[in-house]
Structure 1
């Protein structure tokens, strides 16, 4: 088996048929778990805080509660992985771990994407300013108290970048609402 935690059967099949059948045997024995078609993992690896999102949802970007939790902007513990993908794209999701997929337009999806190393995985994630703007944009969906908590925690940070935050807010059309939260938070 490969050293990486998740691997695809297509790679294994290309190496040899015997390895493919050995993988299927490990699934039957319980030493491997089928996450979705072509993606297998060790049961211990599924218990980790983070999974290799790129293998499960190629091109997916960590967002919303997952990003807010990563940046320490909220005390809420994410119940699932929030992943943003291009609008109109269909993905097959595994039964476990739980994912919430958010379909975004290209312009919104390309704004503020960065990479972070989380639990040994390189994961695409929206940067902190974009994540704050998302909280304001979806304030009615997540709750006004959660939105207020996220904005206040961002304003307390020493590494905050208000000009970048306001540029993202203009792009995402939430600048007036964000200004109101900023004046309330200071």
Structure 2
């Protein structure tokens, strides 16, 4: 296979995978590790992280990187609160809900910082929605599922973020209390919803 053919195959793979391709994908196309290594040395490919490559020499924004590396994840907790405008300060890391059976090694990276919430496969799709951030599409939980998760994992949040999230939801004109109650039963936080949110309604 000549260099033009290799570059054409890589370009097609990049197009298909939002600009970041796994090493396994490249080897399936007949591009072995030595060829990949040579392309990295020549500056035609960049290693994004171990086992992931891009041909975008100009690199990615943090948002693009997360969208490309974790297309199967859902924004949850602080990242989802920030995306909805409930938190004003951008969180330090990306909180992502992922299938509990996914490989833990995927999240071992210095940048961007990923904080995974390992979730049962059936719970992963409850309240699933999508949102557009800086031109990238992300899975995200709707506001009712998000608030139930904040109640469920209150101990993992800062007290200020938790309080801000609950107050922002109560003040949100788009909230749907009947959906919130359904999710609260499913997520086993009904008593907390009734005591913390019920009093304001």
Give the match for residue 177 of structure 1.
192
Alignment equivalent of 1:37, drawn from 51, 69, 73: 51
The answer to whether residue 117 in structure 2 is matched with residue 102 in structure 1 is: yes
Unaligned runs of 5+ in 1: none
Alignment equivalent of 2:79, drawn from 66, 69, 73: 66
The 1:155/1:24 distance shift into structure 2, 3 A limit, reads farther
Alignment of 1:88-99 (within 5 A): 88-91=101-104, 92-93=106-107, 94-99=109-114
Alignment of 1:1-186 (within 5 A): 1=11, 2=14, 4-13=18-27, 17=31, 21=35, 24-26=38-40, 29=43, 32-40=46-54, 42=56, 44-53=58-67, 55-57=68-70, 59-91=72-104, 92-93=106-107, 94-185=109-200
d(CA) in 2 for partners of 1:127 and 1:42? Answer: 33
Deviation at 1:117, TM superposition (A): 2.2
Conservation of the 8 A alpha-carbon contact between 2:20 and 2:52: no
Conservation of the 8 A alpha-carbon contact between 2:96 and 2:116: yes
Higher Cα Rg: structure 1 or 2? 2
Which structure is higher in RCO with an 8 Å CA cutoff and minimum separation 6? 1
* Deviating more after overlay: 1-10 vs 170-179: 1-10
Specify the SS of the correspondent of 1:51. helix
d(CA) in 2 for partners of 1:137 and 1:22? Answer: 45
Deviation at 1:121, TM superposition (A): 2.2
Unaligned runs of 5+ in 2: 1-10
How many matched pairs? 184
d(CA) in 1 for partners of 2:19 and 2:36? Answer: 17
